[in-house]
Amino acid sequence: MTDAVLEVRRSRPIAYLQAAFTAALLALATASVVTFWDAEGPRDRLLASAFFTVILAVYFWHTLRLCWDRSPVVVVGPSGLYLPSALPEVIPWTTVRSANYPGGLLGRHRVDIDLDIVTRARARVGMRIAGDPIAGRMGSPSGISIITQTLDTKASDLMAAIKRYWPPPETPGEG
């Protein structure tokens, strides 16, 4: 999308913080494997420690990849909204049914978008509980949310960029 007005990426400081926290947990898990390796007794504790160490190693690798990833997560432009993790093509503004920034305590890091049902059905969205920045909204079959908590742009700034193009002007013949 070459006509981008706003490109939103992952926040590097938050990605580094997550990687450091995961590295600390991985070090603790590795230390527990070493401790249980030398311990006498049943091996179930060693197996459990090894299992969690493998999970943390994979998660640590994932957080490192997020530190290096500078590709945009959300792109706002005149032709539409581009969410590369959800859809490979730009979502035209005509398929956006509503855009809302709830604000307040619970909605300050979120922009809610309702799409037409066909576009929403094709979108591959994640889950908010998993930390995905593009998530489906429960109770709304056509709704998605852009969670900006781990991104480099505030939800209010993202909504201001969206308002530049949405709602699109009515075309002649519509009524």
Q: Please indicate, yes or no, whether residues 62 and 140 belong to a single structural domain of this protein.
A: no
Q: Please indicate, yes or no, whether residues 29 and 64 belong to a single structural domain of this protein.
A: yes
User: Domain of 135?
Assistant: 74-163
Give me the number of domains the chain comprises: 2
Q: Please indicate, yes or no, whether residues 90 and 44 belong to a single structural domain of this protein.
A: no
Residue 2 lies inside a defined structural domain of this protein? no
* Residue 175: predicted pLDDT: 47
DSSP run (H or E) holding 110:
strand 110-115
Q: Measured between alpha carbons, how far is residue 131 from residues 10, 146, 147, 149 in Å?
A: 12, 11, 9, 9
Predicted confidence (pLDDT) per residue in 103-117, tens digit: 887 778 999 999 999
Average pLDDT of the segment spanning 57-83: 92
Alpha-helical segments (H) within the chain: 12-38, 44-68, 104-107, 117-122, 155-163
User: pTM of the predicted model, to two decimals?
Assistant: 0.79
Nearest to 146 by CA among 164, 125, 118: 125
